[in-house]
């Protein structure tokens, strides 16, 4: 019987893992989107959208559905979901594999200011008016309403609600991955002086950092929130797939 796998997704790793599993006969995967974006990418495997009702609800979903393994492929900043995933996995003692993609680190030529949160990021832009590219998603814009002197270009998958935007802000709804040439052209066209971004890691949005480096621009980097103490983790979809194959071999007694 195929192993039932629940993948908590919304990231490039989740999509890559789903693609790798679509023709695997030993697994019966389901990809779950939190619903943070209005139009998630159609998945190559069965998928659902929506929450579970906290850790207890997730544990119930896994137990009632007869799942054999849980893979947390959520965004590095999805702190509450990661806590819920770990708690649910421990509650029902299910095989659990968190994907923890490596964070970005500065390279020669980078001008980064590391900050702990969005409020600090808004302050770090300074008091002099700047043209700022915000690549932080649409849920964290409120902090920048307290710095209305700047001109913002807000890039997110979905257009933010107008009432959440800083006064002088333009929405640019785009979905990654992004090419270096396009990122360089974007910074040039909009005369961007500062980029504010989360330290999400990964390759899908990394080209903006290379483009900033080539432009000589300052990057305000919001550090990741603390991760749950989940012990071992993997870094990417390939390692998660290898983990699944090892788990399946163990269950088959190979």
d(CA 252, CA 212): 50
pLDDT one-digit tens code per residue, 107-165: 999 999 999 999 999 999 999 999 999 999 888 999 999 999 999 999 998 889 999 99
Question: Which residues, 6 or more positions from 25, have their beta carbon under 8 angstroms from its beta carbon?
Answer: 2
| pTM, rounded to two decimals | 0.91
- Tell me what pLDDT residue 28 has: 97
Residue owning tokens 């002197």: 149
Own/partner pairs, 22-31, CB within 8 angstroms, 24+ separation = 26/2, 26/248, 27/2, 27/3, 27/244, 27/248, 28/2, 28/3, 28/4, 29/4, 29/5, 30/4, 30/5, 30/6, 31/7
Give the orientation angle of helix 207-215 with respect to helix 180-189, to 10 degrees.
50
Q: Which is nearest to 10 in space by CA: 29, 39, 28, 21?
A: 39
Kindly give the parts of the chain with pLDDT less than 70.
Answer: 36-39, 253-254
- Tell me what pLDDT residue 38 has: 65
Whether the bond into 177 is cis, omega within 30 of 0: yes
- Tell me what pLDDT residue 158 has: 86
d(CA 120, CA 129): 17
d(CA 86, CA 64): 18
- Tell me what pLDDT residue 253 has: 64
**What domains sit in the chain, N to C, each tagged with a CATH number?**
3-101+226-252 (3.40.50.720), 111-222 (3.40.50.720)
């Amino acid at each position: 019987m195929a192993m039932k796998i629940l993948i908590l997704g919304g990231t490039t790793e989740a999509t890559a893992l789903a693609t790798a599993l679509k023709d695997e006969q030993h697994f019966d995967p389901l990809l779950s989107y939190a619903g943070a974006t209005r139009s998630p990418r159609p998945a190559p495997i069965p998928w659902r959208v929506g929450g579970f009702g906290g850790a207890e609800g997730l544990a119930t979903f896994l137990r009632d559905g007869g799942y054999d393994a849980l893979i947390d492929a959520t965004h590095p900043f999805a702190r509450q979901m990661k806590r819920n995933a770990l708690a649910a996995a421990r509650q029902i003692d299910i095989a659990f594999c968190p994907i923890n993609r490596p964070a970005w680190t500065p390279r020669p030529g980078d001008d980064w200011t590391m900050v702990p949160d969005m409020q600090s990021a808004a302050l770090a832009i300074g008091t002099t008016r700047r043209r700022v590219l915000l690549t932080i998603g649409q849920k964290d814009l409120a902090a920048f309403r307290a710095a209305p002197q700047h001109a913002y270009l807000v890039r997110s998958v979905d257009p933010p609600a107008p009432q959440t935007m800083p006064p002088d802000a333009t929405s640019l709804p785009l979905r990654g991955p992004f090419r270096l040439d396009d990122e360089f052209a974007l910074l040039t066209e909009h005369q961007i002086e500062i980029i504010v971004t989360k330290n999400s890691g990964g390759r899908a949005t990394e080209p903006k950092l290379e483009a900033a480096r080539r432009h000589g621009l300052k990057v305000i980097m919001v550090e990741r929130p603390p991760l749950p103490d989940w012990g071992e983790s993997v870094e990417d979809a390939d390692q998660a797939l290898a983990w699944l194959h090892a788990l399946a071999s163990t269950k088959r007694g190979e």
